[in-house]
């Protein structure tokens, strides 16, 4: 979609959790955000008009057991990237943040002014980067659009790119793995939450709707509209059991599962109010129905690319 809108994306990744095969639409540069010299070399070579910053460690459980790893990688790496962008005169910055900055606020539809009180180092590290961007805006005129994602799901319509984590931690791919026999069963972590069926509730957004939001964010910055924070979700929450039921409906197969205890750091309910993104950016999450996200993910799941 970037190429279709006239942008050439340059991907910078250390391949710790990413895959070079997923880079299909522009140059790839392998490097680490903790390597200042490598960052400066790439900025000098390409002179980008904007940065879209997606890189981070993102496993909640690991961030609780090893918080130092998250503060070093996420925060220090982001500081290096922000400073490199400013030094290169690249003043437009789109940042991938998270609903985890809000912490646990049950029975509340979260909007951009909701209190940020993260309960794990992953969410805290993302909130710290948001603070950095505001500080560099004040000191160096850096303009940023911050997107607080809710749960991203699905794949592109042509099944060229989809979710592929090792280890896998996201609910929908885990469900599809269980349906397809690639794991014995899905484990439901916690069945005693204060929800109608006892399982956690999350707001899911299709990855292609997310892509569209980022392009609208870039357009916002290039129009000189200044820094802004936007939630990206649908406002509709689904429990783990509801997602399982939808997957069974879409695939025509039952989901084998077991029940386990709650995981540390998991919130009961996280649901977005995304009115600002709709009203100000003109963003419409057109593919973010549960059945559509699972349909696209299932199509990707069944390709040979998924198991390479």
Q: Specify the range with the lowest mean pLDDT, choosing from 109-118, 166-175, 179-188.
A: 166-175
Q: What is the mean pLDDT of the chain?
A: 91
* pLDDT, average across residues 161-187: 86
Output the pLDDT for position 263.
86
- pTM reported for the whole predicted model: 0.90
Phi then psi dihedrals of residue 89, to 5 deg: 75, 20
Residue 274: per-residue pLDDT: 75
For 194, list phi and psi in degrees, rounded to 5. -80, 70
**Residue 4 has what pLDDT?**
65
pLDDT digits (tens, 9 = 90+) for 117-145: 999 999 999 999 999 999 999 999 999 99
Please provide residue 14's backbone torsions phi and psi, each rounded to the nearest 5 degrees: -90, 0
What pLDDT sits at residue 1? 60
Which residue blocks in 66-146 are alpha helix, DSSP H? 67-70, 77-87, 121-140
- The domain tally of the chain equals 1
Determine the pLDDT at residue 60: 84
pLDDT digit string (tens) for 235-272?
A: 889 999 999 999 999 999 999 999 999 987 677 888 89
The CATH number that applies at residue 142 is 3.40.50.720
The CA distances from residue 47 to 50, 58, 84, 88, in Å, are 9, 29, 11, 7
Q: What is the pLDDT of residues 66-79, one digit of tens each?
A: 999 999 999 999 99
Give the residue-averaged pLDDT of 179-203.
94
Give the contacts of 18 (CB within 8 A, at least 6 positions apart). none
Question: Is residue 20's pLDDT more than 90?
Answer: no
| Domain, as residue range, for 236 | 3-307
Q: Is residue 101 predicted with pLDDT exceeding 60?
A: yes
157 pLDDT band, cuts 50/70/90, is confident
The sign of the CA dihedral 290, 295, 301, 305 is: negative
pLDDT of residue 2: 62
| Rounded distance between C-alpha atoms, residue 307 and residue 180, angstroms | 12
pLDDT at 226 (0 to 100): 95
- Decide: 45 and 87 in contact? Cβ < 8 Å: no
Judge contact between 284 and 144, C-beta under 8 A: no
Nearest to 123 by CA among 27, 236, 265, 18: 265
Distance between CA 27 and CA 4 in Å, rounded?
Answer: 16
SS3 21: helix
Active site amino acids: 122
Phi and psi angles of residue 142, each rounded to the nearest 5 degrees, phi first: -70, 130
d(CA 97, CA 152) in angstroms, rounded, equals 12
pLDDT at 306 over 60: no
The percentage of the chain sitting over the pLDDT mark of 90, rounded to a whole number, equals 76
Strands 257-260 and 186-189: parallel
What the block records as the tokens of 205 is 């957004």
Confidence band, pLDDT 50/70/90 cuts, at residue 59: confident
């Amino acid at each position: 979609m970037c190429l279709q809108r006239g942008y050439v994306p340059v991907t910078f990744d250390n391949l710790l959790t990413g895959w070079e095969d997923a880079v299909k639409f522009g140059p790839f540069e392998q490097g680490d955000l903790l390597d200042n010299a490598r960052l400066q070399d790439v900025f000098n070579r390409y002179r980008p008009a904007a940065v879209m910053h997606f890189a981070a460690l993102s496993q909640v459980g690991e961030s609780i057991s090893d918080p130092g790893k998250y503060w070093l990688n996420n925060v220090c790496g982001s500081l290096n990237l922000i400073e490199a962008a400013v030094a290169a005169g690249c003043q437009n910055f789109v940042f991938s943040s998270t609903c985890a900055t809000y912490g646990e606020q049950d029975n509340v539809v979260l909007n951009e002014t909701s209190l940020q009180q993260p309960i794990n180092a992953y969410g805290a590290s993302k909130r710290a980067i948001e603070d950095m961007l505001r500080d560099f805006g004040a000191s160096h005129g850096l303009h940023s659009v911050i997107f607080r994602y809710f749960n991203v799901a699905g794949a592109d319509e042509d099944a060229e790119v989809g979710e592929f984590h090792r280890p896998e931690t996201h609910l929908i791919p885990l469900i599809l793995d269980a349906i397809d026999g690639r794991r014995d069963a899905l484990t439901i972590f916690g069945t005693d939450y204060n929800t109608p069926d006892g399982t956690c509730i999350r707001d899911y957004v299709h990855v292609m709707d997310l892509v569209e939001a980022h392009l609208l964010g870039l357009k916002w910055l290039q129009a000189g509209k200044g820094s802004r924070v936007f939630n990206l979700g649908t406002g509709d929450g689904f429990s783990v059991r509801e997602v399982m039921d939808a997957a069974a409906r879409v695939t025509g197969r039952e989901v084998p599962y077991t029940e386990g205890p709650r995981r540390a750091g998991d919130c009961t309910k996280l649901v977005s109010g995304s009115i600002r993104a709709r009203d100000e950016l003109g963003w419409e999450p057109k593919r973010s129905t549960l059945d559509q996200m699972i349909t696209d993910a299932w199509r990707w799941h069944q390709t040979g690319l998924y198991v390479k």
